[in-house]
């Protein structure tokens, strides 16, 4: 793999990492965690692969963008000149001169259940460590499901939770469960820390509310409620080393086993420019007894919230149908799990 030249800086603290991001902002600087996304992006900086293509995009035979790029997407929300042109002109996609490696920040590598029963996962926790945690498997199951189905063992051993979320891909296999589980992200910058709800983080493919001098330090999940459960399903064209065609995460709490729905959150991946919180599901399910008919209506509502595109992984109409089918299946699974382990 041929990479552009860069120097690696190794901070000992998050404050130092932020200072390095500020100091080298003009020369180009990026944070490096596991590198499983970043190094791939650096190898081909000209067309970041998370940038959506349109029918008009043409590429040079060597993979470089032809100088006469035609990019005229019909979607009025697309940036002027098209997503490809916008990416080419975006300084964030230029090859950086410095990488700030986070590997010495051991304080960001922990999984902790706090005194109030909530869960704190450090941003540098590897994807592989997540499903190995019995607490996460038991009480934040959707997150364990997402991590267990990301990439391959090699990728999971290097890739981190923070990198998966910070990269802001619509199909990110831990970002979707993080939304369903009502996760909160802590961002630390030179002037202090702030928190952002997981569903408010991504702003478009590869774009987020994170500032260039901020580090994602941890993801926090509320304590598990009684009679609640969660699950995530990744639909992909093969079982490993594949980005999802559709990802659905469901979290649901009942008032009591067999009782009405107290609260529900359904999140969708790969069916919009960002992972999506399917808010219509709550409107259909809240306060209702989760029988077959009601769950069917909730699944239809989730499908209505999806905004997919056609691409090589699947047609938009297929993705919408799969959102409905998977949401129904996962809602039933979670209700059954609550009944068997109230």
| Piece of the chain touching ligand FAD by CB under 6 A; list 79-87, 152-160, 296-304, 331-339 | 152-160
Cβ partners under 8 Å of residue 209, min gap 6: 196, 200, 201, 203
- For the beta carbon of residue 214, count every other beta carbon within 10 angstroms: 24
* Closer to ligand FAD by Cβ: residue 69 or 209: 209
CA–CA gap between residue 234 and residue 243 (Å, rounded): 9
CB 338 within 8 A of CB 254: yes
CA–CA gap between residue 243 and residue 171 (Å, rounded): 7
Rounded to a whole number of angstroms, the minimum distance from the CB of residue 275 to ligand FAD is 10
Is residue 34 involved in binding ligand FAD (CB under 6 A)? yes
Judged by CB under 6 A, the residue of 20, 21, 29, 38 near ligand FAD is 38
Is residue 133 involved in binding ligand FAD (CB under 6 A)? no
Cα separations (Å) of 335 from 15, 113, 221?
A: 44, 25, 21
- For the beta carbon of residue 240, count every other beta carbon within 10 angstroms: 11
| Piece of the chain touching ligand FAD by CB under 6 A; list 20-28, 59-67, 171-179, 291-299 | 171-179
Rounded to a whole number of angstroms, the minimum distance from the CB of residue 244 to ligand FAD is 7
Rounded to a whole number of angstroms, the minimum distance from the CB of residue 112 to ligand FAD is 17
- Looking at the DSSP bridge assignments, the partners of residue 264 are 252
Is residue 327 involved in binding ligand FAD (CB under 6 A)? no
Is residue 183 involved in binding ligand FAD (CB under 6 A)? no
Interface positions with ligand FAD (CB under 6 A): 30-38, 40, 102, 123, 127, 150-151, 155, 158-160, 162-164, 166-167, 171-173, 215-216, 241, 243
């Amino acid at each position: 793999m041929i990479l552009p030249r860069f120097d690696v800086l190794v901070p000992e603290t998050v404050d130092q990492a932020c200072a390095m991001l500020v100091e080298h902002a003009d020369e180009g600087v990026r944070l490096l965690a596991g590198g499983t996304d970043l190094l791939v992006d650096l190898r081909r900086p000209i067309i970041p692969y998370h940038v959506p293509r349109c029918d008009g995009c043409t590429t040079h035979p060597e993979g470089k963008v032809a100088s006469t790029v035609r990019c005229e997407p019909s979607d009025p929300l697309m940036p002027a000149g098209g997503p490809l042109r916008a990416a080419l002109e975006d300084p964030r996609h230029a090859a950086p001169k410095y990488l700030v490696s986070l590997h010495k920040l051991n304080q960001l590598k922990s999984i902790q259940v706090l005194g109030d029963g909530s869960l704190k996962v450090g941003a540098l926790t590897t994807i592989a460590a997540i499903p190995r945690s019995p607490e996460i498997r038991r009480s934040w199951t959707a997150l364990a499901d997402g991590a267990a189905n990301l990439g391959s063992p090699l990728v999971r051993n290097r890739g981190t939770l923070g990198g998966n979320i910070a990269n802001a891909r619509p199909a990110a296999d831990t970002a979707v469960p993080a939304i369903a589980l009502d996760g909160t992200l802590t961002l630390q910058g030179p002037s202090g820390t702030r928190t952002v709800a997981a569903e408010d983080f991504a702003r478009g493919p590869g774009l987020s509310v994170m500032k260039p001098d901020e580090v994602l330090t941890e993801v926090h999940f509320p304590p598990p409620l009684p009679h609640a459960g969660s699950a995530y399903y990744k639909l992909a064209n093969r079982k490993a080393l594949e980005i999802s065609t559709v990802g659905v995460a469901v979290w649901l709490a009942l008032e009591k086993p067999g009782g009405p729905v107290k609260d529900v959150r359904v999140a969708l991946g790969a069916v919009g420019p960002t992972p999506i919180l399917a808010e219509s599901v709550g409107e259909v399910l809240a306060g209702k007894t989760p029988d077959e008919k009601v769950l069917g209506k909730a699944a239809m509502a989730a499908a209505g919230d999806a905004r997919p595109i056609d691409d090589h992984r699947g047609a938009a109409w297929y993705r919408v149908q799969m959102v409905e089918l998977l949401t129904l299946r996962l809602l039933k699974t979670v209700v059954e799990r609550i009944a068997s382990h109230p």
